[in-house]
Structure 1
Amino acid sequence: MRLRPRAALLVVLASLPLWGAHAAPRDAKEKALVSHVTAGEQANIELLEQLVNVNSGTMNFAGVRKVADMLRPRFEALGFKVSWVDGTPWGRAGHLIATRPGRGKHVLLIGHLDTVFEPNHPFQRWQRVDKNIARGPGAADMKGGIIIGLAAMDALKSQKLLDSLQITVVLHGDEEDSGKPLDLARHDLIEAAKAADIALGLENAADNPKTAVTARRSSTGWVVKVKAKSSHSSQIFSNEVGAGAAYELGRILNGFYQEVRGEEFVTFNPGLVASSTQVDFNKQPLSATISGKNNIVAPVGIISGDLRTLTVQQLEDTRAKMRKVVAASLPNTSAEIEFTDNYPPMAPTEGNRKLLSLYDGVSKDLGFGPVTEVNPRNAGAADISFAADHVDMALDGLGLLGGGAHTADEFADLRTYRIQTQRLAVLLYWLGKK
């Protein structure tokens, strides 16, 4: 039986030990952090409700900025210097960046202000389904994650532990629909990562409290364009006319399937395929308008697709294989393939797994049981991928958990608030001691 996201999460939560049932924090500071998180839960859930009720769809620039303005005093109260990076150069609202000096490791926290749905969508408001479940755009993905980060750092500040780390927070305004050019849109994150030692992502990731993300696959685009001779259909396959564009598209797709498919974590999906007498293609939004006749050999064709890999080497090798397939054209046809870089891979490194081991130890120490790594096949692209190559260790999936992301059924399971916030607070405490 396949469980719905909410049902699956409930099963996982039911299998988690209650806090304190099998273990207890090992020192007085941990106990104090846990108590502070518990005491502040209601106020932080109320703040989350306020944030969710402000539409911040990526293209609602005013809404994205309003969420940032609501968060600014929260960061300033923790001793952060907060700045706003205007997103006009990449066609989006902008980013909120908060920095706080400290004497220990430099930790980068990564999140985003924007959500999927714009103001014209009916899914707009926070709705408390019951004492555990709250629906709303961004409830889990990922205004809930921002709340987890703030609450964890507030707990550290209450125990005078926040100074043991240097912390930078980058909250993008365009994670759900990245601005272009992407190198400008992610410039500030990359520069922050270069200065940091550790990156922590506040996404909800696999929505499973027993897992965290040590690796994410890339997201790369590709377009194949085909040209062929046009003629009356009765002349197809002749020496003068050849195979036509439609058959060439078919050959290429079959070649990808037969010769490129198979390596673990490598996938390539054709999202649009079109061939006819005339094809008008648009990349954004992805679409094609075609016209033709059955008795005309199609002279043009196009394929637009998505490519995902776990490492940069996999990406380069797969692109080379795809180019080789494209180059072996049928008679009287020609084809070319173009690639566009979107999100890089977050490769599974020893540093990432070391950080997961530390997080796993925190979870066990708090009585929440072990944490294992998510299968990269189930981890989509995210902003931490831009940072991962520049830090010693990176881990994602530390935010508020729920389900139904990117749909009108999105929800947050508020029982994971204490689990995730206590884990993050104690993880930061441990990092500050090292």
Structure 2
Amino acid sequence: MERVSSDERRLIEHIDGPAMLRSVERWVAVNSGTRNLPGLARMAGLLADAFAVLPGELTLVDPAPVDAVEPDGRVRAIDHGRHLLLRVRPQAACRMLFTGHMDTVYGVDHPFQEARYREPGVLNGPGAADMKGGLAVLLAALGAIERGGPTADFGYDVVINSDEETGSFASAALIEAHAAGKVAAFTYEPALPDGTLAGARGGTGNFSLTVTGRSAHAGRNPEEGRNAVVAAADLALRLAAEGGPGLAVNPARIDGGGPNNVVPDHAVLRVNFRPKAAADIARADAAIDRIIAGVAEARDVAISRHGSFNRPPKPIDAAAVKLFALVQATGSDLGIPIQWRDTGGVCDGNNIAAQGVAVIDTMGVRGGAIHSPDEYMIVDSLAERAALSAVAISRIARKGGL
């Protein structure tokens, strides 16, 4: 670490890896699946206590309203947990945004509920990598900055949401509002096991298309019916045909139907789109409307559309290149090799980049097998990644930006 300054060395000395691990073990023991509201409330309380060591104003923010389409086609409100917001020195000239999520993909009834050591130094646990380990990295890095970093004219916002794993519908507006005007942002999704970071990301959109047909007896007068399941299948085939370079289309599920002797009058098609660029979103959006109109006319059914492109594509622009270069140079000075590569996954980094803010969204721990019972975190990466963040943040703060 010969290229690390004495001030930066002192920053690193404030990072306590064993204490970070104890926090992760405590947090992983709490089931905070996105739909487990009591678990999320408990997790929010633990995080509020932990992040209270930092200065500034900490609040738990109510989620924005979110609707979803039920299998029977009815639209109903879905409840979410509160989000944590911390604002530190909001009047500072140089300000960053730091984001993470407290929710996991493991529901209250999921069999994966407890942590264990797969081998020495490798913790297998629900949310260990994605991203309770990342939250520990974020807290330790900011703690080091507050104890020994340049803070006179440096401030930041921290947003830890409760619904990232289901698309951040209840928190996207909060994240976007606090991204405004920031010089850069870090999000604490996990890096790959070898430390590789995510570069460019495609976008995503999820839609529920509700088909209303007309029921009839399947044997006596089927011609008087309008088969909603057939119309939904027609929608799926036509939409799938729109896929190609720049746009993946995945018709994922059809809800509907009933007894074999009844022409079904109701169906819901669930479909996911993965556009690589903004132009692909526009093309997909137009295709959805065109195909809905075509199927509605051809099948004599009514079709309603629900959903949105909730994650814009995240390209690597000039500002992002500068931020990656800064983090890569910081890693080199710390003896941590840093590379990045494009990925098809999405996260809150997509929404931050859409606000014109350079973001690296995999500043969390090294780990793997996320979203599965084999999810694991490499324990040594807790202190390693906290040091990487702390020194990178310090360099941005001292420069007043990128």
TM-score for the superposition, normalised by structure 1: 0.77
What is the one-letter code of the residue matched to 1:271?
Answer: A
Question: What's the secondary structure of 2:308's corresponding residue?
Answer: strand
Which among 411, 421, 427 is matched to residue 386 of structure 2? 421
1:154 matched to 2:121? The reply is no
- Alpha-carbon offset, residue 233 of structure 1: 7.0
Task: Name 2:278's counterpart in structure 1.
Answer: 312
Where in structure 2 are the equivalents of 1:31-180 lying within 5 Å? 31-37=9-15, 40-87=16-63, 91-101=79-89, 103-177=92-166
Q: Is the 8 A contact 2:226 2:300 kept in 1?
A: no
The superposition leaves residues 184-215 of structure 1 with CA deviations (integer Å, 9 ceiling, x where unpaired) of 54332222112433221111165551223443
Q: 1-side partners of 2:357 and 2:201: how far apart?
A: 14
Superposed displacement of residue 429, structure 1:
1.2
Q: Deviations over 1:153-182 (max 9, x none)?
A: 122233232444211000112223468xx3
1:336-375 aligned within 5 A: 336=303, 338-341=305-308, 343-348=310-315, 349-372=317-340, 374-375=341-342
CA distance in structure 2 between the partners assigned to 1:64 and 1:226 by the alignment:
37
Q: Could you say what the CA RMSD is over the residues aligned between the two structures, in angstroms?
A: 3.2
Higher Cα Rg: structure 1 or 2?
1
2:239 maps to 1:256: yes
Alignment partners' CA distance in 2, 1:162 and 1:86: 29
Instruction: Report if aligned partners of 1:355, 1:394 keep a CA contact under 8 Å in 2.
Output: yes
Quick check: 71-80 or 144-153, which moved more? 71-80
Q: Given that residues 222 and 307 in structure 1 are in contact (C-alpha distance below 8 angstroms), is that contact kept between their aligned partners in structure 2?
A: no
TM-score using structure 2 length = 0.83
Q: Following the alignment from structure 2 to structure 1, what is the Cα–Cα distance between the partners of residues 177 and 211?
A: 36
Percent identity, aligned pairs only?
22
User: Shift in Å at residue 69 of structure 1?
Assistant: 2.6
Q: 1:353 to 1:291 in 2, by over 3 A?
A: farther
Distance, in Å, in 2 between the alignment partners of 1:53 and 1:320 is: 45
Q: 1:313 to 1:206 in 2, by over 3 A?
A: farther
Q: What secondary structure, in the 3-state scheme, does the structure 2 residue paired with 1:307 have?
A: strand
Give the residue type in structure 2 aligned to 1:288: G
* Post-superposition offset of 1:97: 0.8
String of CA shifts for 1:339-375, please: whole Å, max 9, x gaps: 4126221421332232122222222222222422x32
Alpha-carbon spacing, 1:339–1:330, altered in 2? closer, same or farther (3 Å): closer
> For the structure 1 residues 261 and 46, does the alpha-carbon distance in structure 2 shift closer, same or farther, using more than 3 Å as the test?
same
Tell me the equivalent position of 1:284: none
Please give the alpha-carbon distance, in whole angstroms, between the structure 2 residues aligned to 1:226 and 1:120.
34
**Is the 8 Å Cα contact of residues 367 and 377 (structure 2) preserved in structure 1?**
yes
The one-letter amino acid of 1:319's match is D
> Would the alpha carbon gap of residues 289 and 401 (structure 1) be closer, same or farther in structure 2, given more than 3 Å must change?
farther
Assess, with a 3 A threshold, how the Cα gap between structure 1 residues 334 and 365 changes in structure 2: closer, same or farther: farther
User: Bigger shift: 349-358 or 319-328?
Assistant: 319-328
Q: Does 1:269 align with 2:236?
A: no
- Structure 2, unpaired ranges of 5+: 67-78
Between the aligned partners of 2:298 and 2:284, the Cα distance in structure 1 is 26
Q: How many residues align?
A: 384
Q: Does 1:385 align with 2:350?
A: yes
Q: Describe the SS at the equivalent of 2:129.
A: coil
User: Unaligned stretches of 5+ in structure 1?
Assistant: 1-19, 274-286
**Structure 2 SS opposite 1:290:** coil
Aligned to 2:196: 210
Write the letter of the residue equivalent to 2:87: T
Q: Using a 3 Å threshold, how does the CA distance of structure 1 residues 255 and 69 change in structure 2: closer, same or farther?
A: closer
